[in-house]
Amino acid sequence: MAWSFRGRVQLGGLLLSFLGWVCSCVTTILPQWKTLNLELNEMETWIMGLWEACVNQEEVGTVCKGFESFLSLPQELQVSRILMVASHGLGLLGLLLSGCGSECFQFHRIHWIFKRRLCLLGGSLEASASATTLFPVSWVAYATIRDFWDDSIPEIVPRWELGDALYLGWAAGIFLALGGLILIFSVCLGKEDGDGSQSLQIGHFSKFRHTLDSIQK
């Protein structure tokens, strides 16, 4: 079946949203939210994430330990945990709703107006998932940069730096935002071409059948 322009736009939005959702999940799991290199021991690197802290030594390897208490974490990490998990739920729900409202999901009992509403709701949820991903990632980055340039901390004290997971989180937020906006834009394209042509064919067939019945009578 040949998809209309609206269907191809929806497929692009779904792929971007799915890519952003996967990147957001990986960002949450990765421990590289913050990195710390010790000048006294260059062979040892510390990394910190939302769930655990790890130390990487060339001779021993990487050893990780999970945080024992949620309340002992810094405020930005506490909020980031909650918002990132909420982002996964919003993103997954948005994918399901927008998928059911797109041309990829063909079910004749669902009216096209209801499918447009599902796609609009799914795109809005993807945009919300983008916000709940970009906010915690940016907050952790801001707190790390603020502490790094804090003059009240002695220069001999090691300072945390931005980890690779933050960059992946920014990319995830951008993908989710683009996917959600494209899905919302697809709703503004109007009624599906396939539905319009199908309704026109049914109308012509009904008129033809009515004329044929009148001739036979």
Residues 31-86 pLDDT 10s: 999 998 876 566 788 899 999 999 888 777 788 899 988 988 889 999 999 999 99
Neighbours of 81 (CB within 10 A): 18
Beta strand 61-66 with 52-57: parallel, antiparallel or unpaired?
A: antiparallel
pLDDT for position 209: 52
Kindly list the distances between the CA atom of residue 200 and the CA atoms of 12, 181, 193, 203, in Å, as whole numbers in the listed order. 28, 31, 11, 5
Token pair 């799914």 in the structure block, residue: 122
| Cβ contact 94:126 at 8 Å | yes
pLDDT for position 138: 96
Query: Which string of b and e fits 59-79 if b means at least 16 CB within 10 Å?
Result: eeeeeeeebeeeeebeebbee
Which residues sit opposite 150 in a β-bridge? Answer: none
Fold of 5-216: Butyryl-CoA Dehydrogenase, subunit A; domain 3 (1.20.140)
Least confident range of 22-31, 74-83, 97-106, 168-177: 97-106
Give this prediction's pTM: 0.81
User: Which residue, 191, 172, 206, is CA-closest to 114?
Assistant: 191
Question: Which residues lie closer than 8 Å to 131 by C-beta, 6 or more apart?
Answer: 173
Higher pLDDT, 173 or 109: 173
